[in-house]
């Protein structure tokens, strides 16, 4: 069960990047802006996560600051899906994030 929860966490992180890329492709006007937003926004989020949030982060955040980073990043991905017209998918994604956060706390798997 512990490994499954960590696998879910990893999949949610990948889905976060995909959701932001989808939003960028739907939001951009013209192919150039679609490509810039669809690739650029997920890359910025991946950079921020690698710098502050990942288990091997360069400047890792701890405790409440790490939780705030997670909350902001995952919330923005849910909002991006909602704004791109994928309301049901945004709801499912939000529910999975909440379940995963509860299980991370219950199994003491926080970074």
Structure tokens at 65: 């600051």
- In the block, residue with structure tokens 């980073």: 69
Structurally, how many domains does the chain consist of? 1
Residue 72 falls within a domain, yes or no? yes
Report the pLDDT value the prediction gives residue 88, as an integer from 0 to 100: 98
Give the Cα separation of 46 and 53 in Å (integer).
9
Residue 49 falls within a domain, yes or no? yes
Residue 9 falls within a domain, yes or no? yes
CA atoms within 13 A on the CB side of 109: 17
Report the pLDDT value the prediction gives residue 111, as an integer from 0 to 100: 60
Along the 111 residues of the chain, how does pLDDT read in single tens digits? Answer: 889 999 999 999 999 999 999 999 999 999 999 999 999 999 999 999 999 999 899 999 999 999 999 999 999 999 999 999 999 999 999 999 999 999 999 999 876
Residue 111 falls within a domain, yes or no? no
Residue 100 falls within a domain, yes or no? yes
Give the residue numbers spanning the domain of 29.
Answer: 2-106
Residue 65 falls within a domain, yes or no? yes
User: pTM value?
Assistant: 0.93
Report the pLDDT value the prediction gives residue 103, as an integer from 0 to 100: 95
CA atoms within 13 A on the CB side of 17: 16
Report the pLDDT value the prediction gives residue 110, as an integer from 0 to 100: 79
């Amino acid at each position: 069960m512990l490994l499954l929860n960590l696998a879910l966490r990893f999949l949610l992180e990948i889905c976060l990047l995909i959701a932001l890329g989808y939003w960028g492709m739907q939001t951009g006007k013209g192919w150039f802006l679609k490509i810039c937003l669809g690739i650029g926004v997920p890359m910025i989020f991946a950079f921020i996560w690698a710098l502050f949030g990942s288990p091997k982060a360069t400047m890792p955040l701890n405790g409440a600051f790490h939780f705030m980073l997670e909350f902001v990043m995952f919330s923005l991905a849910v909002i991006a899906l909602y704004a791109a017209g994928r309301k049901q998918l945004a709801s499912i994604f939000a529910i999975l994030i909440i379940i995963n956060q509860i299980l991370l706390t219950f199994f003491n798997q926080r970074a």
